Amino acid sequence: MKTPAKKILWIALAVALVLSLVWQFAPLTDASVRLDAIPLHGFGFTGRDIPLADAEKSIYSPARVLKRLYQVDRQQVIVIAIDGSRNRHAIHDPTFCFRGAGWTIAASRFIPVAGGEVRLLSLTKDGQTREAMYWLSDGQTRHASALRYWWQTTLRRLTLGHSGDEPILFVLQPAQGNSLEWDLLLSQFPALLAS
């Protein structure tokens, strides 16, 4: 290798090393403020925190997880919100977890909401049916794409957080029964979509 090529290679290596150190040690803001802003009580709904199971703690740690049971009008919903700032592996496509638990995705559709869309799944297992809804939100946009999440968080690291807020994963499931009136739930509990 000629001397100028070696010099360029060493400079590129040094720049990559410096950038990796900056990205490793530069503190990025997490989504704690947005998680804390999700109300326990409000007009038409009330909630309570649910402790994480030991298996959930081992999967999510050290990510910040909010798990609550909400009563919204006559409906009960379990809401899990995950801030993966401290553990990016805690955020993944929820369909993998459902499939891993033995559920088959019988149907899937996207529902438009302010700032994007959410994904509603119809699941089956051993003759049972159940629904679940999920989305990722940076506080401005909502989507259900793990690839887009990866891109958002990568861009956040590259820009030291200037490209936007950390996305939060929201997963909603009925606490009783197998389905909810999802449109009604979202309209009566707008704070979920605002986070």
A 10 A CB-CB count for 80 gives 19
Residue 15 lies in a domain: no
Residue 38 lies in a domain: yes
Residue 81 lies in a domain: yes
- How many independent structural domains does the chain possess? 1
Phi, psi torsion values for 13, nearest 5 degrees: -65, -45
* Cα(113)–Cα(9) distance, integer angstroms: 48
Residue 19 lies in a domain: no
Residue 43 lies in a domain: yes
Q: Which domain holds residue 161?
A: 29-194
Which two three-digit tokens encode residue 122? 């119809």
* Nearest one of 64, 15, 29 to 162, comparing CA atoms: 29
Which two three-digit tokens encode residue 19? 């950038």
**How much is the pLDDT for 3?**
80
Residue 150 lies in a domain: yes
What are the angstrom distances between the C-alpha of 155 and each of 7, 35, 145? 29, 21, 15
pTM of the predicted model as reported, rounded to 2 decimal places: 0.86
133-176 confidence digits (pLDDT tens): 999 999 999 999 999 999 998 888 888 788 889 999 999 999 98
29-76 confidence digits (pLDDT tens): 889 899 999 999 999 899 999 999 998 898 888 999 999 999 998 999
